[in-house]
Amino acid sequence: MTTVIKAASTVAAPADEAAAAVLLAGQASRECLAEARLSPDAVGVLINVGVYREHNTFEPAIGALVQKEAGINLDYLAHPVPGAAFSLDLMNGACGVLNAVQVAQAMLATGSAERVLITAADVHPGGRAALDPDYPYADLGAAMLLERSAATTSEGGFGPVRTAGSGEDSAIAGYLPTAGMGADGRGRITVRRDEGFAEQLLALAATTAAEYALAEELDLHRTLLVSSRPTADFAQRLAGRLGLPEAAVLAPDAPGTGGGLPHTAALILGYLRALEVGLPEGVDQLLFVAVGAGPSAACVSYRPQAR
């Protein structure tokens, strides 16, 4: 048994409208399920990993609101199979998707769920990232549906998720300074990126990817790396650090967002782009690499099944 990606989707906020994290994640979820040709009631667990939300909303759990928006098991008495869906928030910045994959692997392996939906959406607390030149992230939503497969790991699916940290102070931090938030505080956020943060994250990502490849006996020259994107040139620099050609690392732009880098949705966006362009000749596997606040990193291999 292994865990595989059944379907995935990304949704960009309209450039001329205020964005809402719940709406973006909900729309991405519906499109993802439509691609998989499954009803919302087929989802047993929803894990939401988005960090930034309109109006700095943190309660109730955003995952529960996304579940409602996507129409997943809203009435467990009327739809008792596969059982009442469970939703939760799991926030760890750009690494959140891979942390959620790790949780999903455990749930699927034990039979606690048949399918797990991971959602990721970040929007500027004021609703329009394009109007704030100092805010680094795009208004973007994504969803990825995981399920159990009878295939062995060699035939397709995820390998083990590995996480790492540098032991240093946080290179990136997003927070709301409540003491000085004022009347418009719900529409503001402070994102602090320390001097030298890019090099710090680059070193951690390269070390984590190299150690993962060694431990799991992966040939990086036969692997497409799908990376988070803390800086615009991160993919090129990571490839150089690992001694790989630039085309070996994929970290795409956020589509149609009017600027800003993809954050928690970055790896799902990269996965879809890899499917769109196809794997290069001689490449038969992916290596997801995420790095961000903490600083922390996460890695997992993925061998796509035959489509």
What is the number of other CB atoms lying within 10 angstroms of the CB of residue 75? 9
CA dist list (Å): 110 to 85, 158, 218: 16, 16, 27
CA dist list (Å): 244 to 206, 220, 239: 11, 8, 5
DSSP 8-class letter at 60: S
Tokens of 158: 């995820």
Phi/psi at 17 (5° precision): -130, 155
User: What CATH architecture does domain 158-303 belong to?
Assistant: 3-Layer(aba) Sandwich (3.40)
Reply yes or no: is the peptide bond before residue 40 cis, omega within 30 of 0: no
pTM, full prediction: 0.90
Give 2: exposed, middle or buried? Use CB within 10 Å, 0-12, 13-18, 19+.
Answer: buried
Phi/psi at 47 (5° precision): -115, 115
Fold match between domain 2-153 and domain 158-303: yes
Tokens of 81: 């199979």
Interhelix angle 96-109/266-277, nearest 10 degrees = 80
94 near 263, Cβ under 8 Å?
A: yes
H or E segment at 235?
helix 234-242
101 near 116, Cβ under 8 Å?
A: no
Spans of all domains in the chain: 2-153, 158-303
Residue 276: pLDDT band (50, 70, 90) is very high
Tokens of 297: 């990193």
For residue range 82-92, list pLDDT tens digits in order: 556 789 999 99
9 near 143, Cβ under 8 Å?
A: yes
What is the number of other CB atoms lying within 10 angstroms of the CB of residue 236? 14
For residue range 228-273, list pLDDT tens digits in order: 999 999 999 999 999 999 999 999 888 765 668 899 999 999 999 9
* Rg of the chain in Å (alpha carbons): 19
Quick one: which of 148, 160, 157 has its CA closest to 44? 148
Residue 187: pLDDT band (50, 70, 90) is low
Which range of 132-141, 174-183, 208-217, 272-281 scores highest in mean pLDDT? It is 208-217
Fold of 2-153: Peroxisomal Thiolase; Chain A, domain 1 (3.40.47)
How confident is the model at residue 13, as a pLDDT?
81
What's the distance, CA 272 to chain centroid? 12
